[in-house]
Structure 1
Amino acid sequence: MDLSRSALKVFLAKGGNAVVFFAGITVFARELGASQIGVFFLFQTVLGLTTIVADVGVRGALEKRLSEGQRPDTMLATAMALKLLTVSGAIGVLLLARPYLNGYLGGEYTALLVVALVVQEFADLFIQAVRGELRVGETAIIEFAREAVWVTSGLAFVAAGYGVIGLMYGLVLGSATAACWAFAKLETTVGRPAELSAWSLYDYAKYYFLSSVSGKVYQWMDVAIIGLFLTYADVGAYEVAWEVTLLVLLVSKTLSITLFPQMSQWSSEAAIDRIEAVVPNAIGIALFLSIPAFVGIVVLNYEVLAVIFGSEYTIAAGVLVVLMLEKVFQSVNDVLGSTLRGIDRVDLVARAVVVTIAINLVLNVALVLSIGLLGAAIATTSAAIVQTLLNARYLSQNITLQIPYRLIAWCLVSAAAMGLVVVGVRAALPFGGIALLASCIGAGVASYFLFSFVVPSLRREVVRPGIRMLVSMVRPA
């Protein structure tokens, strides 16, 4: 697998996804208002949490086994059979809880939730199967198509007067598009399920399940608890802030997705030295972008929410700052967790997850009840910090883990200088609104890259390698 080309394809697709998704959320948030968009986010939350039961690690186990070349046709067929069982169980849970779910969501949405679950689970299964074939880059356009179909069809449904249910229809259409496309892309044929393959998948899935739960918990638990104790408008404002911060993880998620199958292959070949060489660089690149993003939000949190989404979302200005700090740690954790899974130590990832889920759940309930929206952000950020530290400790017990401390320090210095520039620009310019926000962001980006290029270690270890990687990515094979 060509890491550079795969990384480019994934990054461009995720960048495109982010632009399309962010534009869609901006329009939907303004058109529907905080309360209605909050209902949609709760629908997404229930869907996301239900996938814990609907997957139980099968997708990740299939990707791992396919990357190892273990009887691919049989593995795929067995994973599909297991997926039918797990999805059926999750549907049973949803139908049993239907009266409560409809009350929680504020409408008769459970039937649509079942359809969305089935389509999404098989879309994700086939996408991860393609990644398991070491063709990560080829899934990039599929992921982009999923987001594009959701946003465009959602806009059409909203314009036609369907309201929030139109966004749900769009979500189903997007996943259906991804499922069909990914299945058509698969080079592995569907064989016959086998008991031995099922046990092989189970051996990995039982640990991957817990590690995947972590992502679901971080993404959805705080929203679920806000939905229980606060209003739909609070859910809408909080989730809008969360979606803004997700933009920062473009690079680290790209690295995580691209590196996992390659780490798995190197691990099976006992090429630990290659893994040890890549991890510090990946951490440095992830932090190179997440640190200045945090500083920028510290300065511009209110303006970002007010100008882009509307004044009713500014109740989440403090939440935005705290969640952006969480993304700094999460960007590192993406690299650490992917590496641990790649070297087949998903059991250690699972161990960290058990601890952090408990922390997240207890703190969310306690802090949401005591201080509201900000409490949910603090709880989620605290759990993210603990998980990152635990994964770093576990990885260092299996390989020589070198944290690029000097690089991080220079990123902090450059980001602080950038923050001062943004403060000065905001104070000096005589206009406001989108023009002021765009000017501040532009000045911040330009000054940060200028400061970074001046620092020798950043120029040598991040900027120049990044330019060389981009050149190699776009050069014809």
Structure 2
Amino acid sequence: MDLGRSTLKVLVARTANAFVFFGAITYFTRTLPADRVSAFFLYLALIGLLSIPADVGMRGALEKRLSEGDAPGETLGSALAFKAVTLAVVCVAVLALGPLIESALGMPFTGLLVAGLVAQELGRTYLSVVRGELRVGDTAPIELVRRVVWVGIAVTLVSRGWGVRGILIGHVVGRTVEFCWAFLHCRTPIGRPSVEQIRSLFAFSKYQTVTSVGGRVYQWMDVVIIGLLLSGTYVSAYEVAWQVTLLVLLLSKSIELNIFPQISRWDSEASTERIESTISRAVGIVLFVSVPALVGAAIYAEEVLSLFFGPEYVIASVVLVILMAEKTFQSYNDIVGTSIRALDRPDLSAKAIVVSVGLNLVASPLLILTIGFEGAALATGGAWFVNALMQTRYLSRFVELTFPVRLVGWYAVASLAMAGVLLAIRQVVPVDGLVVLLAQVALGVCVYLAVSAAIPRVRDSVIAPGMSVVRG
């Protein structure tokens, strides 16, 4: 697998995916009341939490075992048999608790919840199969089409008065398209399930479950706690800020998807040097994006929320900056955490997750009650900084992890130069409209890239290799 080309394909698709979603959220927040949009975010939170027992870490285990190249058909058949049981149990439980769920969330959508969960789990499972075949780049158009279908249907139905239900229907249809396409692209035959393969899968998945729980809790815990302690308006504002900061993780998530199966294959071949150099380069590349993004958020947080989503979302300006700092830690975690799991030590990654989630569970409600919903962002940022420290220590046990300190220092220099130019421009041209905002952001990107290109270490380590990949 060509890591550079595959990562570029995933990055382009995920960038388009993110902007489609970003545009959809902008439309929904301007069309529907904030308390109605919060119902959609709660739906996503619930379906995300339900996917944990429905999957039990099986997708990650399936990708890991397939990437090792041992008995692929039997591995896939065993994973699907296991998954069918867990998914059926969760769906029956949701249907049985339907009235309680509908009462808690304020809208009757149990049927859509079950349909969305089934479609999502089948689609994600077959995407994991394609990735386990070391064909990560082939999943890029599948994920993009899924998002385009969802947004197209959702916007159409919302514009015709379907409200939040229209968004949920679009979600179900998009996930169904994802499953059908991934299934058709899968090259691994479904073999006969075996107890031996199920045990092998479960040996990995039991720890992957903890990681999945941590990821879901990390993504949705703050929203749920804010929903319990504050109003729906704060839920929507926090989630909008969260979605904006997720744009920073496009690169790290794209690299994460590609290096997991490749490091797994190299680990089975004892290619330690290739693993070490790949991890070091990946860390340097992802921080090239997250460092200037934090500086930009500190300058334009209020304008981004106001001009894109509406003045009622400006209350999350401080939250946006804090979460952008947290995403800097998370972009690093994406590389280090997936490397630990690819080395077949998901237990260590799980330990770090348990500690950080525990810290977040305790700190988030306390800080929300004492300083407001900004406290949720502070709790999350602190917890995942601890996670980064722990995972670094664990990974260092198996490979020599070299953190690119000087490279990141140069990123900071280029980011400060960008900030100086932007602050000067703001004094002359105030940000009073969306066009001005976008123009100044584009200018900031150009200044950052120009200064970075003038720094030999950054040019040789990041920019030149990136241009080489783009040229193909």
Asked if these proteins are the same fold (TM beyond 0.5), I'd say yes
CA deviation map 1:453-472 (0-9, x unaligned) = 11111111111111112223
1:168 counterpart residue number: 168
Matches within 5 A, 1:183-194: 183-194=183-194
1:352 counterpart residue number: 352
Matches within 5 A, 1:375-394: 375-394=375-394
Matches within 5 A, 1:36-435: 36-429=36-429, 432-435=432-435
Superposed displacement of residue 417, structure 1: 1.5
Asked if the contact 1:52–1:213 (Cα under 8 Å) also holds between the matched residues in 2, the reply is yes
Superposed displacement of residue 343, structure 1: 1.0
Asked if the contact 1:242–1:323 (Cα under 8 Å) also holds between the matched residues in 2, the reply is yes
Asked if the contact 1:425–1:443 (Cα under 8 Å) also holds between the matched residues in 2, the reply is no
CA deviation map 1:203-225 (0-9, x unaligned) = 11111111222211111111111
1:283 maps to amino acid: V
Superposed displacement of residue 314, structure 1: 0.7
1:314 maps to amino acid: V
- What secondary structure does 2:32 align onto? helix
- What secondary structure does 1:244 align onto? helix
1:475 counterpart residue number: none
CA distance in 1: counterparts of 2:147 and 2:235, whole angstroms: 22
Note the residue ranges of structure 2 that are not aligned, 5 or more in a row.
none
Superposed displacement of residue 78, structure 1: 1.1
Superposed displacement of residue 413, structure 1: 1.3
CA distance in 2: counterparts of 1:35 and 1:72, whole angstroms: 47
CA distance in 2: counterparts of 1:430 and 1:379, whole angstroms: 33
CA deviation map 1:319-346 (0-9, x unaligned) = 1001100110100000001111111111
CA distance in 2: counterparts of 1:202 and 1:7, whole angstroms: 29
Superposed displacement of residue 430, structure 1: 5.3
Asked if the contact 1:94–1:110 (Cα under 8 Å) also holds between the matched residues in 2, the reply is yes
CA distance in 2: counterparts of 1:306 and 1:230, whole angstroms: 21
Asked if the contact 1:73–1:192 (Cα under 8 Å) also holds between the matched residues in 2, the reply is yes
CA distance in 2: counterparts of 1:96 and 1:358, whole angstroms: 30
CA deviation map 1:258-313 (0-9, x unaligned) = 10000000000000110111111111110000100010000100000000111011
Superposed displacement of residue 3, structure 1: 1.2
CA distance in 2: counterparts of 1:431 and 1:167, whole angstroms: 32
1:130 maps to amino acid: V
1:347 maps to amino acid: D
CA deviation map 1:65-109 (0-9, x unaligned) = 111112111111111111111112222332343333222211112
1:2 maps to amino acid: D
Percent identical residues: 46
CA distance in 2: counterparts of 1:270 and 1:377, whole angstroms: 40
CA distance in 1: counterparts of 2:431 and 2:128, whole angstroms: 48
1:103 maps to amino acid: S
Note the residue ranges of structure 1 that are not aligned, 5 or more in a row.
473-477
- What secondary structure does 2:235 align onto? helix
CA deviation map 1:363-405 (0-9, x unaligned) = 1222223333211111111111111111111001111000000
2:464 maps to amino acid: R
- What secondary structure does 1:134 align onto? coil
Equivalent residue pairs, number: 472
Asked if the contact 2:303–2:431 (Cα under 8 Å) also holds between the matched residues in 1, the reply is no
1:38 maps to amino acid: S
Following superposition, which runs of at least 4 residues in structure 1 exceed 4 angstroms of deviation? none
- What secondary structure does 1:189 align onto? coil
Asked if the contact 1:36–1:233 (Cα under 8 Å) also holds between the matched residues in 2, the reply is no
CA distance in 2: counterparts of 1:435 and 1:427, whole angstroms: 17
Asked if the contact 1:255–1:335 (Cα under 8 Å) also holds between the matched residues in 2, the reply is yes
User: Which shows bigger deviation, 416-425 or 166-175?
Assistant: 416-425
- What secondary structure does 1:27 align onto? helix
1:26 counterpart residue number: 26
2:342 maps to amino acid: G
Asked if the contact 2:431–2:437 (Cα under 8 Å) also holds between the matched residues in 1, the reply is no
CA distance in 1: counterparts of 2:100 and 2:388, whole angstroms: 35
- What secondary structure does 2:33 align onto? helix
1:416 maps to amino acid: L
2:413 equivalent to 1:452: no
TM-score for both structures, normalised by structure 2: 0.98
CA distance in 1: counterparts of 2:218 and 2:285, whole angstroms: 23
Superposed displacement of residue 20, structure 1: 0.9
Asked if the contact 1:38–1:237 (Cα under 8 Å) also holds between the matched residues in 2, the reply is no
Residues 1:373 and 1:463: Cα distance change in structure 2 (over 3 Å): same
